[in-house]
Amino acid sequence: MPWPGGLGALLAGGGEGCTGQLLCMAGASFKICAFNMQGFGEAKAGDAHVSLQILARCDISAVQEVRDAKGDAVLTLLTELNRYQALPALYAQLGSRRLGRGTYKEQIVFIYRLETLPGGHLLLASMHPAQVGHPLPTGRYACPGTAPCFPPGGLTPAAALGNQVPSLTASPLPAIKDFVLLSHHASPRNAVHEIDRLYGLCRELTQRWGTQNVMVLGDLNAGGAYVPPSAWGSIRLRWEPSFHWLIGDTANTTVRARTHCAYDRIVVQGDEMLGAVVPGSAKPYNFARSLGLSEEEVSAGEAPHCPGKEG
């Protein structure tokens, strides 16, 4: 999508968890965001001042569309982000494998502040275009033996999203164990199908990881011509009552003056997860307006989709 926005939510302290991977510590709160960096690689890493300002606002960020075969760009970004930080405020990163069809490969990278993570395991799930899973006799899917689906230590889910293969990572780093963050970058032409199939994946994650607390966030292309109003009735993630959409259909997650679409979303599963979110805090953050950037500067630079705004 041309510069759709990202989003974020501020979670209340106490309880188990937050909008995604991190759990709020008692009496504390933290911010999480997701944004599409549109082909982030070495060239953009060398001039990432806008992205650095956005990342520094959040405790955890799901960065989408990282296209960096060597991995140097993310390390450069992290080094710059930590240049003026000190323990325990340093940031770390955990990325999915690079997946995709043909020569197109991208990954989702989670960048998080170390001091915000209590004990446990950080459970991440990310979706990328990949080889179609082979159906099993049960009607479920398994990864092809040649597909680069799961990092070492990851979990192998029994469900795949049609032409999507989930990349699951169980991190050895300290984090909350009761919450799952699922970041997905939907294909515009298949957005309706992919968003609907996320419902089944959330159920699979609930069964395999033993928690009802799942958050879906990212560039779902969930608006405009990609998901017309007539399509919502066929999307289970939308009408199943245990899922709560925190970014509404009338929101504008773009930074272009001529567009107004809610492409990027945050969806939480379960009342417990919903109760951890500060009401009204999940909203698009128009970084161009906040940082005084013109539309031309946004289009020409490394600026990502609008990330999340704290409450």
**Residues annotated catalytic, as ranges:** 106, 185
Q: What is d(CA 105, CA 97) in angstroms, rounded to the nearest whole number?
A: 9
Dihedrals φ, ψ of 50, to 5°?
Answer: -70, -45
Q: Is 44 helix (H, G, I), strand (E, B) or coil?
A: helix
CA angle 146, 148, 150 (to 5 degrees): 125
| Cis status of the peptide bond prior to 88, with omega within 30 of 0 | yes
Nearest of 104, 96, 99, 128 to residue 39 by alpha carbon = 104
Going from the C-alpha of 29 to that of each of 90, 96, 106, 117, the distances in angstroms are 17, 26, 31, 12
Helix (H) or strand (E) holding 221: none
User: Which amino acid belongs to residue 44?
Assistant: K
